[in-house]
Amino acid sequence: MRDYKKYIDDGARVLRGLTALGVPLNLTHVTKPIYEPIFLDFKAKHSAFEQARQGKTNGYTTLRQERGPAVVFLLNVRGYFKGFFGETWSPLWAPLGFINNSLALPERDLDRCDMLENVKMYFTNHPEHENAAREYTAAKADSFCVPLTAARINVEACKFETRTKRDARTMAKALLDKKISALRGELELVLSPTDPRWLKFFDRIPGDLRTPEQVEDVTATAQPGGLIVLDWPDAARAARYRVLKQVVGVDPEMVVADTVDESEAQLTVPVGATVKLQIVPVNGTGPGAASEVIELQAA
């Protein structure tokens, strides 16, 4: 499964590279005005897909919430009618929706809705069998049928919406991929394979497959409120940096607190906590050696 967050981060790096170096490098085929709307369109379509997918998740949650009480009601109604129709199936059960010589409840929500409709209709036609005290009534059957039906219809709509948004994102990504590929081709004409300026656009220098050099001389300053300000010199071949932290007595080991493109970062830890920090440089080849551990107490 593609990591779309990283894909968007990489696309944003390309945009920053075009902003900083597009004109100085005299790029003409893929410029900021050409690339930016394509990139932003992809971001918008990815966001729309994520919203649709969350809507589908929420829809299924609602469907489960409506399904549970409806199934319990049908189970109770079945038990109630055994006093009238007997413990085993007979044609008397058919008007309630129990068919195929079985008293089993339907497994599909569509069929459960149909059974609730049948129960409602039966109570409407046979009010003498209603039991208001136990809420075995036409109105009660309808009160389960309506929201379950609505939830089921909503899930189907959400599934369609998600597929539609996914297809739109796929098309936008294909166009973005094409532009990024064209940019690589254009950069190959103006940058040598080992030019460090490749890192302004991408996370690796094509002619240098080495991991980044180790970060040195990291400074960390404790500010009021638990704020820690970090700064360090650029590491050769580093495309980004992982900031690792370990709050002593809380984190059993170093954890990634942030990933940044520039050689500086800020993070917040509990006031008064003792924290250990490291910086790991990363490029397309992989991570470099972590910096020496810095330990300090948050203000």
Helices (H), the chain: 4-21, 32-85, 109-125, 138-190
Pair 43, 189 in one domain: yes
Pair 199, 225 in one domain: no
Tokens describing residue 72 = 């319990």
Which one of 208, 234, 253 terminates a domain?
Answer: 208
Domain membership flag for residue 213 = no
Pair 229, 286 in one domain: yes
Query: Which residue(s) pair with 287 in the sheet?
Result: 282
pLDDT of residue 1: 46
User: Residue 45 and residue 47: Cα distance in Å, rounded?
Assistant: 5
Domain membership flag for residue 275 = yes
Among 86, 79, 93, 53, CA closest to 131 = 79
Domain membership flag for residue 132 = yes
Domain membership flag for residue 89 = yes
Which one of 159, 187, 208 terminates a domain?
Answer: 208
For 161-191, give the DSSP string: HHHHHHHHHHHHHHHHHHHHHHHHHHHHHHS
User: Residue 132 and residue 96: Cα distance in Å, rounded?
Assistant: 18
Which one of 154, 188, 208 terminates a domain?
Answer: 208
Domain membership flag for residue 118 = yes
Tokens describing residue 144 = 């389960």
pLDDT of residue 2: 64
Name the region of 275 (left: φ>0; alpha: ψ -120 to 50; beta: rest).
beta
Pair 29, 134 in one domain: yes
Tokens describing residue 98 = 């129990």
Q: What is the pLDDT along the chain (299 residues), one digit of tens a residue?
A: 468 998 999 999 999 999 999 999 999 999 999 999 999 999 999 999 999 999 999 999 999 999 999 999 999 999 999 999 999 999 999 999 999 899 999 999 999 999 999 999 999 999 999 999 999 999 999 999 999 999 999 999 999 999 999 999 999 999 999 999 999 999 999 999 999 999 999 999 999 999 999 999 999 999 999 999 999 999 999 999 999 999 999 999 999 999 998 999 999 999 999 999 999 999 999 999 999 999 999 99
Task: Report in angstroms the alpha-carbon separations of 63 from 101, 139, 144, 182, 278.
Answer: 28, 20, 12, 46, 47
pLDDT of residue 201: 97
- Tell me which amino acid residue 141 is: A
Pair 49, 182 in one domain: yes
Pair 164, 238 in one domain: no
Domain membership flag for residue 112 = yes
Helices (H), 86-128: 109-125
Pair 125, 231 in one domain: no
- CATH number reported for the structural domain that contains residue 292 in this entry: 2.60.40.10
Q: Which domain holds residue 271?
A: 219-297
Q: How many domains does the chain have?
A: 2
Pair 172, 40 in one domain: yes
Task: Report in angstroms the alpha-carbon separations of 150 from 49, 131, 242, 257, 282.
Answer: 23, 26, 47, 43, 50
Tokens describing residue 232 = 């360090």
**255-260 and 240-247: which strand pairing?**
antiparallel
Pair 87, 125 in one domain: yes
The edge-to-edge listing of strands for the beta sheet with 219-223 is 219-223, 227-231, 264-268
Pair 149, 232 in one domain: no
**255-260 and 219-223: which strand pairing?**
unpaired
Pair 229, 192 in one domain: no
Domain membership flag for residue 240 = yes
Pair 223, 203 in one domain: no
